Amino acid sequence: MRMEIQPHVGIGPIRFGMTRSEVAAAMRAIGGGEPVAKSAGIDMFCDISLHVEFTDDTVSFIEVGSGEEHEYLLAGMDVFDTPADALVAALETLDTNDAALGGKGSYCFPKLIVALWEADTQYDRKGRETRPIFGAVGIGDSRYLSAIRAIRSRRNPEG
């Protein structure tokens, strides 16, 4: 399955603001089936490699995990077949990285509301674990960015 990651819009057929039933219908329409796991605020698809988080019953965050079977394109690059440093450099041409929000080994681009987590060779499933690749890529809407900023400010009240 191949899906486009579009900041401020969504991933593939999943769009910010959709309800759970709309997400399930969109995934069925592209052959993604029903959610394979559900919790109070998250539905998981594609063998749990695609997580959809809901705030106030609508999509507020979408995260994809590394794997060989799916292709997720962001700015024309397969995020799980692009070395971590190259992906960061490409996104830095579009937005400034906010290291305070991303944390160690992870990045957050607040204008795009794109988060990259855990660059490591173990996630390089397409290149046989030879390159540091991000383990997960997520995009969110303004609700997600506000929540991340609130969490970080509670962890580090000095700044």
> 98: phi > 0 → left, psi -120 to 50 → alpha, else beta; which?
beta
* Residue 157 predicted with pLDDT over 60: no
pTM more than 0.85: yes
SS3 65: strand
* Residue 159 predicted with pLDDT over 60: no
* Residue 28 predicted with pLDDT over 80: yes
Burial of 39 (0-12, 13-18, 19+ CB in 10 A): exposed
Q: What single-letter DSSP state applies at residue 83?
A: -
Please, what are the domains in the chain?
2-155 (2.60.460)
Structure confidence at residue 99 (pLDDT): 67
pLDDT in tens, 65-111: 987 778 999 999 999 999 999 999 999 999 987 766 666 678 889 99
Q: Provide the residue count of the chain.
A: 159
Structure confidence at residue 44 (pLDDT): 92
Structure confidence at residue 48 (pLDDT): 81
